[in-house]
Copies of this chain bind each other. A is one copy, B any other.
Amino acid sequence: LRGRLMIDTEFADWDKNLNAASSQTDRQDFDGALPERGTYLRRARLGAIGVYDDTWEWQLEVDFRDSDVRFANAYLAYLTDHGRLAVGNFKEPFSLESSTSSRRLTFMERATPVDAYRPSRNIGLMYETLVPNYYLAAGVFGGEGTDRDRDVEEGYALALRGSFAPYMSDDTFSHLGLSYNYRRNSKDFDDEDGDIYEDVRLRSREGARAIDIRLIGRNDIEGVEDFSRYALEAAWGHGPFSLQGEYLRVDLNLDPDKGDVRTDKSRLTLDGYYVQASYFLTGEHRNYRAFSGDFGAVRPNSTFGRGGTGAWELAARFAHADSSEHSRPGRGNKMDHYTLGLNWYPNEDMVFKLNYMYFDYEGRGGKSDGNQVLAARAQFEF
């Protein structure tokens, strides 16, 4: 039995214009009506993992966020000397930040462009290398949101990710990576038009989740035939200091006859990037894993409760996401998002996070600058 729990709270100070700029339903007729505080069980997972005969690995993990059931990892994998062939439900391999477990993130949420443009978990077949110094993954995956609407003709994705560590030493790591993901969109069924393409959701919120305000990609993109995602990944660390950054891009091909589209565009491009820096006040370092191209658990030098302080980390991030292009005129939006973070790891299984966020936003209803959010999380795993 294993699991994780993340308990969040959030306080916000919204700019007056955010309501109108983000077109939050009818709320814009009522000034300042956006919620400004919230509590939330961000993730609550229960599951099991096992290895059988050193030949097979399996996992079954369920997430109960929001009083709803979502599958997290649910797969069976065959292990060879240098790799792993997995079938089941898991993340499509894409992006350094997306590939890193939610338990191992520096900030409470992934950077806005990663959150908005990354693929979700899907049912697929994937091969991954298991070698010391680099990582290669290739997989095919079924449709997004499969389990919730089985009336559609499922789309599929081809996903590729590769990374390597140009330089590694006792106190230094480096990471360069590249991800590519092609997705053929699912076909929905409409009583009037027959087959149409499903609306594509590439969206993100305010950088926390205890209040649910959808900002980037608020309105789903219609008539998308297929789309390609790209991520360019880099990270570097020396002792307690580390840097991380990625550029992400999505190119979408539209079929004007297969959606309720009001544009004559046949192609959209969304993109974004983030850079972040982190420093451990207590001397620890980020746990980079070249063999999987992601980050593992921080190991505090001392444990709180056994005479130690645990690990303390300071971090800062700037993220930019540009979803200005949209299938309908005027529906796009973009955001500049700043985060300051303070993390306390009392031991290997717990983290307390405090994030201060500041963002400028431009949406359908104009600009909204100077929004502020303060959020905190208590997290443990077992």
Contact = CB atoms under 8 A, between A and B. Distances in A.
Interface of A: 1, 3, 5, 7, 9, 25-27, 29-30, 33, 35-41, 44, 46-48, 50, 52-56, 58, 60, 62, 64, 66-71, 74-76, 87-89, 122-124, 142-143, 146-148, 150-154, 156, 189, 191, 194-195, 210-212, 303-306, 346-347, 349-350, 378, 380, 382
Given A56-B350, A147-B40, A29 B194 contact: yes
Contacts of A123: 7, 9, 39-41
Given A1-B48, A76-B5, A347 B53 contact: yes
Given A47-B46, A147-B40, A191-B26, A378 B67 contact: no
A29 to B, nearest CB: 7
Contacts of A304: 55
A349 B48 CA distance: 15
A46 B44 contact: no
A64 B68 contact: no
Given A5-B76, A7-B75, A58 B382 contact: yes
Given A69-B68, A69-B69, A154 B55 contact: no
A306 B306 CA distance: 44
Contact of A349 (B52, B74, B122): B52
Contacts of A1: 1, 48
A287 B306 CA distance: 34
A189 B27 contact: yes
A62 B122 CA distance: 22
Q: How many copies are assembled?
A: 3
Contact of A48 (B46, B75, B143): B46
A68 B47 CA distance: 16
B212 A87 contact: no
Contacts of A48: 1, 3, 46, 382
Nearest to A142: B39
A29 B195 CA distance: 11
A215 to B, nearest CB: 15
A124 B37 CA distance: 13
8 contacts: A5-B60, A35-B154, A38-B150, A39-B123, A41-B147, A44-B62, A56-B350, A66-B147
Contacts of A146: 38-40
A209 to B, nearest CB: 9
A6 B52 CA distance: 17
Nearest to A7: B88
Contacts of A142: 9, 37-39
A35 B151 contact: yes
A4 to B, nearest CB: 8
A70 B382 CA distance: 20
Given A33-B195, A48-B3, A55-B305, A40 B74 contact: no
